[in-house]
Structure 1
Amino acid sequence: MSSEWKTSSLLEHYDVRSGLSKPAKDFGSGHPFLSFKDVFYNFFVPQELGDLVNSTDKEREACSVMRGDVFLTRTSETMHELGMSSVALQDYPNATFNGFCKRLRPKAESGLVPEFVGYYLRSPQFRQVMLSFSTMSTRASLNNEMIGRLTITYPPMDEQRRISSVLKSLDDRIALLRETNTTLEAIAQALFKSWFVDFDPVHANAGNQAPSLPAEIQALFPSRLVESPQGLIPEGWEVCTIADVTETLGGATPNTKNDEFWNPPEVSWTSPKDLSGLNSPVFLETERKISKLGLSKISSGLLPIGTLLMSSRAPIGYLAMAQVPLAINQGYIAMPPGGKLPPLFMLYWCRHNMEIIENRANGSTFMEISKKAFRPIEIILPPSTVVDAFMATAETLFDRLVENEKQIRSLSDLRDTLLPRLISGQLRLPEAEAALAEVL
């Protein structure tokens, strides 16, 4: 680390205050509001705040949100969730922030670059210090005295900007890829709805609207709708059940007290927790693995790449396509390839019909849909020629989604590798900038 780097207390750079506490009736309308979740999940405050609160002029003045402000979660259920930070990179007119957060407003003479601070406070080094300072009663809590003992180590402002630029370039690229994936998913879901819910090609063939498909695809659809148990459906299409069109499998958890089921870790094994943090329905890696002996205790065995996973409880409805062979626990319904309707088709069907799926659930401790309750759900089965035509487009879109997710994983790993070394001065900037140039 260069001798130009300094270490000082956060309170030398910031003034601290708590946020706005309001009754539930004041939320849902009014002025922008920075929520606990906004702070917890983001290095930097989102450009647009999704929550609203009815706040007074005095409250908006006292609890404002401006560029350079640092927000720390001051209370949480666990110590590991305490003191999570988010830094504002712009002013937010009329906004206020959550009372379960602390705001650190920079002093005029601070000399800290907000982008650098955002990365520093999320670094493994700082998080470890935060954990050592936190206390537990019924909830973990962070007070002003603790904040006063926190320090920040930083270089001159120009170097802060260069370090931030390297890391922010990676994050900006990740954000762009995620936006692209959101668009790809929306296109595929809209196509599914047009063909298999609204029956637009059938209406076009009936002369009720202009055709929008190539002639050879348009010709695959009939020209009229007929009555069925599912209401009006295209002529020649069938009403079946889930059991008729795809295999549905459940899983299990090998005895966790038997080490032979878990070591050596040879086979990918998943619980629905793995899907909770996904930004798209692409499942690349499981958190845990089991041994081959452990796999022998799961009747559904090793499921192939391309299997659709749907969480069946706590909560119902996480959906993802497996990109590695894996085994599942009892919290899933899995739909492997090989049925009349492909897993990717079923992904879009499940999304569109999640309310129907949830309505079949029951349970006292938590809601769950069993395979027995899932399999009889009715589904409209189009001719294979129509399904194949849809899949030709859907698979192309999904393949791009998968490649983008793999790139996001690679860029995230690079950022997480560079971050602690850059903000501690262990890595020279030219080396980091050269690594960045290779991937962007």
Structure 2
Amino acid sequence: MAGEWQHTTLGKFVSLQRGHDLTESERKPGAVPVMGSAGQNGFHDAALAKGPGIVIGRSGASFGQVHYCLVDYWPHNTALYVTNFHGNDPQFAYYFLKNINFTRYNSGSAQPSLNRNFIYPIEMNVPQIDEQRAIAHILGTLDDKIELNRRMNETLEAIARAIFKSWFVDFDPVRAKASGEPPDSICCRLGLTPDLLALFPDRLVDSELGEIPEGWEVQTVGEVIDRLSIGKKYEQKTVKAAGKVPVLDQGKSGIIGYHDDEPGVAASIDSPVAVFANHTCYMRLIYFPFSAIQNVLPFVGKGVDTIWAFHAAFGKQSFIEYKGHWPDFLIHKIVVPGMKLANGFSRVVHSLLKMAWEKESESNTLGTLRDTLLPKLLSGELRVPKTVGWADEGSPTPASPQN
């Protein structure tokens, strides 16, 4: 164990308290984050805890999860929250608590439950405040870059969806041509090249879905996509923490583990594959080879590029109940342009999506680096040079960790 670190217990490191009840009917419009077992779950008009703060999920599926909030917040009763840091750096405390496996301290039976009296005796060694801040600075900088990438990706994907809506839902190029707007003006305003603009008709006609561009067809989602086999189906208990092939689940979390078999689907950054979660209706484009659990259903475009087919089908099927939604998804009707125009859209937005995918890959690498450094820094196995992030060296304010 590194010298100059103090031996203590979790109960002396931080003080914890159960959060406070707040039903949906009691919530009032406001900007105060409500922090529960799974992190932020809405807003309220009043705060009961000062930021920066930490909550730990005390029950249910989010048992033991640790979340950080920079601002004043309402700690929900589904979590424990820190009421006193006892002079320790809050951001360092977040990473230290995040590194503890709280599943070993379940005080419940059928329903997992975290009791502060069960975890207060946990023994730990902590560095002096300057080294705490230096460690938090390193880990927080990695988390800040990951968060920046996430926000950039949201923007890039939103731009792609906005272009699709303008061209294929609102029919802006068709309406502009019909109104007599000069081609140069249309191209500049709507992000079109002259050759793409020429593929749009100049009038709308009636259809079962209302007015649509002349020459376009009303088809079902099932007519423009082909479902792919995922090969061997995996269960969460059978996947590993590391391996060469990622395994996808049905939620937004994406990858649940890895295996070393051949991938079930050979997606790539130049030939992405779309996936539809049969039970949750979550959809995303995948740009790397993968396998999946049951009810993650991959598909590609049929007669049109996959990127166009994904955007045309995106959001069509809403979650109704926990069931198989695929048959309902396939019968939704969409407006389909000519193949050249659909593929032209894919070429335009592919550069945006490729940038987002590269940022996502970078974030995965940074996340792996953070997770590798975390236990080494918090155990003292890896010490921070005194020139990196130490308060007495005039370092910047430590970066903010993300949930």
Name the TM tier (shorter chain): 0.7 to 0.9
The corresponding residue for 1:19 is 19
The corresponding residue for 1:367 is 323
* Deviation, structure 1 residue 307: 5.0
* CA–CA distance in structure 2, aligned partners of residues 344 and 304 of structure 1: 12
Matched, 1:122 2:98: yes
Deviations 1:276-299 (Å, cap 9, x if unpaired)? 304xxxxxx67344857xx9xxxx
Aligned residue for 2:314, secondary structure, equals: helix
Letter in structure 1 aligned against 2:42: D
The corresponding residue for 2:355 is 400
Over aligned residues, Cα RMSD in angstroms? 3.4
Pick from 334, 354, 358 the counterpart of residue 317 of structure 2.
354
* CA–CA distance in structure 1, aligned partners of residues 131 and 28 of structure 2: 42
Matched, 1:112 2:88: yes
Report % sequence identity.
26
Aligned residue for 2:199, secondary structure, equals: coil
- Number of residue pairs matched? 377
Pick from 263, 277, 286 the counterpart of residue 321 of structure 1.
286
Deviations 1:112-135 (Å, cap 9, x if unpaired)? 111111111111xx22xx333322
Answer whether contact 1:310 1:334 (CA < 8 A) is retained: yes
* Deviation, structure 1 residue 157: 1.2
* Deviation, structure 1 residue 266: 10
The corresponding residue for 2:8 is 8
Deviations 1:223-269 (Å, cap 9, x if unpaired)? 1111122221111222233343332245575698xx9xx9xx99958
* CA–CA distance in structure 1, aligned partners of residues 138 and 373 of structure 2: 9
* Deviation, structure 1 residue 54: 6.8
Letter in structure 1 aligned against 2:147: A
Pick from 269, 273, 287 the counterpart of residue 308 of structure 1.
273
The corresponding residue for 1:412 is 367
Show structure 1 runs of 5+ residues with no match: 42-48, 279-284, 296-300, 435-440
Matched, 1:180 2:152: yes
Answer whether contact 1:307 1:335 (CA < 8 A) is retained: no
TM-score of the aligned structures, taking structure 2 as reference length: 0.81
The verdict on how the C-alpha distance between 1:287 and 1:7 changes in structure 2, with shifts beyond 3 A counting, is same
**Equivalences for 1:41-440 in 2 at 5 Å?**
41=39, 51-53=42-44, 64-77=48-61, 81-90=62-71, 92=72, 95-106=73-84, 110-123=86-99, 126-127=100-101, 130-207=102-179, 211=186, 212=189, 213-249=192-228, 251=230, 268=245, 270=247, 272-273=249-250, 275-278=251-254, 287-289=257-259, 302-305=265-268, 306-324=271-289, 326-328=290-292, 330-336=294-300, 339-355=302-318, 366-371=322-327, 373-430=328-385
* Deviation, structure 1 residue 389: 2.4
Answer whether contact 2:221 2:313 (CA < 8 A) is retained: no
* Deviation, structure 1 residue 185: 0.3
* Deviation, structure 1 residue 320: 3.0
* CA–CA distance in structure 2, aligned partners of residues 187 and 72 of structure 1: 36
* Deviation, structure 1 residue 424: 1.0
Aligned residue for 1:16, secondary structure, equals: strand
Deviations 1:132-182 (Å, cap 9, x if unpaired)? 332232322222322321344211111111111111111111111111101
* CA–CA distance in structure 1, aligned partners of residues 361 and 22 of structure 2: 42
The corresponding residue for 1:46 is none
Aligned residue for 2:282, secondary structure, equals: strand
Letter in structure 2 aligned against 1:334: P
The verdict on how the C-alpha distance between 1:204 and 1:397 changes in structure 2, with shifts beyond 3 A counting, is same
* Deviation, structure 1 residue 383: 1.8
Answer whether contact 2:59 2:112 (CA < 8 A) is retained: yes
Question: Which has the bigger relative contact order, CA under 8 A and spacing at least 6?
Answer: 2
* Deviation, structure 1 residue 219: 2.7
The verdict on how the C-alpha distance between 1:270 and 1:159 changes in structure 2, with shifts beyond 3 A counting, is closer
The corresponding residue for 2:393 is none
Letter in structure 2 aligned against 1:86: H
